[in-house]
A and B are shown apart, each in its own frame.
Chain A
C-alpha cells in the first residue's frame, strides 16, 4: 500500500471513531432534553399557583415590602447568570455570557454597581479568566437541577436584597438564563426578578383582567408576603435553572448532530480521495509493468540481432 493511501485510511478510521462518539452524545442529549422538558412541565403548577398568590397579596393589600417597593435611586444590582458546567453545546454558554455582559453594561450606564453571581463552571471560567469579580458561584448541578439547588442559590441573593444598600446589599436582582422556546430555538434572556413588577407578574400568569377575590390573610398580609416572596424567588430561579438545563441539552444535541453530519461528509470526501489514490497507484503499477516489459522486449529483440 502506498504512503498516501495509508494516510487517508488512517484519517478515515479516526474520523469514523469520532463520528461514533458524537452520535452517541447526540442521542444522550436528545433523551435528556425530553427528561428536562418534563421537569419544566412538572414544576409549572407550583409556579403558576405561587404567582397567583403573589399577585393576590400584592394587589389585594396595601402592604409595603422591601421586595416589592422600588428604591428611589437604585445604586447596586445583583446579576445572576446561569450557564452550564460542560461545554460542547455550541454557542449556548457564550450567548448567555454575552447577554449578561450586555445587561451589566446597561446597568453600569445607568450608574449602578453590579454584583455578579454565577451558576455553572463555564461562566465562572469566563469571568475568572478575565479576572472579574464574582460575588458567589455554584456548580455541579446544572445538568439536573433540583429544588434544593435553587434554594441554595436563592439564599444569598435574598439576603443581599434584604440588606441595606449601604451595608453591601443590593436594590435589584436580575437573572440571565437561556429560555427554552422549542427544540430548535433557545434564546438567552434577562429579566428583573426583584423588586417585583406586579403588572408583569399578572401578565405572566394570565390573570390580567381577572378580578382577584378579597383574601383573608392568615396570620396577616405582611407575614404572608414575608413568607411568600422568598418562595417566589426560589421558584423563579428553579424554573430558570430547569429551562437552562433543557436548553443546554438541546444545544448539545444540535451541536453534536452537526458534528456527526460533518464527520459523515468528511468520511465521504476522504474515501473518494483514498479511492483516487488507490486507482492512481494501480495505474502507475500497470504503466510500470507495461513499460518494464516493453523495455525487456526491446532489449531481447536487440540481443537477437
Chain B
C-alpha cells in the first residue's frame, strides 16, 4: 500500500470533506504548496484559492477555500477555512452572477472569491 495521508477539510461550521489522500495542493500566501505523505510538519496561512486533493482511490476533489490555514503533522493534514466549498456544491450560475456584481461594484475581495469559486467549479 502506498503511503497515504489523512485529510480533513473543515469550515467554521461543518466538516466539508475528510478521507485518505496521496497528494494535496493548496495555495499559501507565499505560493502553491504540495503536500505528500511524509512531509515535514507544516503550518501555513492559506490564500483564497482552489485546493486539490488527490484521493487514494485515484479520484480528485477540488474545493474553493477562502482564507484559513493548512497544518500538517504525522501524516495528518488539516485544512481550516472560514468558508470552504466542494467544487460540485458550487452553483456556477450564482458564482457568475456574483462575479459580475463584484466587478460592477469594484469589490476586489468579492471578485476574487467569486473567481476562485468559478475556477474550482469549472476544473472539476
Contacts and interface: CB of A to CB of B under 8 A. Distances in A.
A associates with B: yes
A146 interface: yes
Contacts, number: 87
Nearest to B79: A49
B22 interface: no
Size class of the contact patch on chain A: 20 to 34
B28 A42 contact: no
Contacts of B40: 216
Given A214-B41, A231-B82, A46 B10 contact: yes
A252 B40 CA distance: 50
A224 B82 contact: no
Overall SS of chain B's interface:
strand
B8 A223 contact: no
B43 A42 contact: no
B71 A42 contact: no
A53 B71 contact: yes
B43 A147 contact: no
Contacts of A50: 69, 80
Contacts of A56: 43, 71, 73
B82 A219 contact: no
Contact of B13 (A42, A53, A212, A231): A42
A218 B78 contact: no
A147 B30 contact: no
A88 B41 CA distance: 51
B92 interface: no
A276 to B, nearest CB: 58
B41 A216 contact: yes
A227 interface: yes
A213 B73 contact: yes
A225 to B, nearest CB: 10
Given A46-B12, A53-B78, A56-B43, 13 more contacts: A43-B13, A43-B14, A46-B13, A46-B80, A50-B80, A52-B71, A57-B43, A216-B43, A217-B43, A218-B29, A218-B33, A224-B44, A235-B12
20 contacts: A46-B11, A49-B78, A49-B80, A52-B78, A56-B43, A56-B73, A213-B74, A214-B41, A216-B41, A217-B42, A218-B30, A218-B33, A218-B42, A218-B43, A219-B45, A223-B45, A224-B43, A231-B82, A235-B12, A238-B12
Complex A-B, nearest 4 residue pairs according to Cβ-Cβ distance, in ascending order: A218-B44, A213-B41, A147-B12, A215-B43
Interface of A: 39, 42-43, 45-46, 49-50, 52-53, 56-57, 146-147, 151, 212-219, 223-224, 227-228, 231, 234-235, 238
